[in-house]
Chain A
Amino acid sequence: MSKINKHNYEAYLLDFMEGTLSKEDAKALEKFLKENPQIDADIFDSSGLSIKPDEQVNFNNKLQLQRDESLPEFSKRDSLLIGLLEDNLNTTDREKAKKLLAENESALRDYTLYKKTKLEADYSVTYKGKSSLKKKAPVLSLRQVSYASVAAVLVGLLAFALIRLNTPGNTLYQPGQIAKTSDVIHFDAEKTNKPETNLQTAIQQSEKPEHLASNTNRHNSGEKESRHTENTITEKTQVNTIPRMGVKELPYDEQRMSDVVMNYREISEPVSPLNINNITYVKVSQDKKGIQLPNRKEIDETLEKYNPIKNLREAKNELLATNAKSLFNRE
Chain B
Amino acid sequence: MEELSDNVYRFILSNIRDEELARDIVQDAYERLWMNCKKVDAKKVRSYLFTTAHNRMIDMIRKAKHEQKADVTPEVASPYHDDQYSDLSEVLESALSELNETQRSVLLLRDYEGYAYKEIAEITELSESQVKVYIYRARLAMKEKIGSIEAIV
B27 and A114: CB pair below 8 A?
Answer: no
Residue of B with least CB distance to A136? B34
B135 and A127: CB pair below 8 A?
Answer: no
Instruction: List residues of chain B with CB within 8 A of the CB of A136.
Output: 34
**1/0 contact trace for A82-114 toward B, CB 8 Å?**
100110100000000000000000000010011
A195 to B78 alpha-carbon distance, docked (Å): 79
Instruction: List residues of chain B with CB within 8 A of the CB of A85.
Output: 139
B132 and A71: CB pair below 8 A?
Answer: yes
Asked, given contacts A71-B132, A73-B133, A117-B92, whether A127 binds B112 with beta carbons under 8 Å apart, the answer is no
B61: interface (CB < 8 Å): no
B123: interface (CB < 8 Å): no
A134 to B31 alpha-carbon distance, docked (Å): 9
A110 to B92 alpha-carbon distance, docked (Å): 16
Q: From residue 106 to 132 of chain A, which have CB atoms closer than 8 A to chain B?
A: 110, 113-114, 116-123, 125-132
Distance in Å: Cβ of A125 to nearest Cβ of chain B: 5
A74 and B23: CB pair below 8 A?
Answer: no
- Band of interface residues on B: 35 or more
A130 to B7 alpha-carbon distance, docked (Å): 12
Distance in Å: Cβ of B114 to nearest Cβ of chain A: 10
Q: From residue 45 to 60 of chain A, which have CB atoms closer than 8 A to chain B?
A: none
Distance in Å: Cβ of A144 to nearest Cβ of chain B: 16
A128 to B137 alpha-carbon distance, docked (Å): 34
A128 to B10 alpha-carbon distance, docked (Å): 12
A133: interface (CB < 8 Å): yes
**1/0 contact trace for B35-50 toward A, CB 8 Å?**
0010000000000000
CB-contact partner of B139 in A114, A122, A127, under 8 A: A114
Instruction: List residues of chain A with CB within 8 A of the CB of B139.
Output: 82, 85-86, 114, 117
Instruction: List residues of chain A with CB within 8 A of the CB of B57.
Output: none
B27 and A133: CB pair below 8 A?
Answer: yes
Residue of B with least CB distance to A121? B112
A126 and B9: CB pair below 8 A?
Answer: yes
B102: interface (CB < 8 Å): no
Distance in Å: Cβ of A69 to nearest Cβ of chain B: 13
B30 and A119: CB pair below 8 A?
Answer: no
A78: interface (CB < 8 Å): yes
Instruction: List residues of chain A with CB within 8 A of the CB of B6.
Output: 123, 125-127
CB<8 Å pairs between A and B, sample of 22: A74-B136, A78-B140, A82-B140, A110-B143, A114-B143, A116-B88, A116-B92, A116-B146, A117-B139, A119-B107, A120-B112, A125-B6, A125-B9, A127-B8, A129-B23, A130-B3, A133-B2, A133-B26, A133-B27, A133-B30, A135-B34, A135-B37
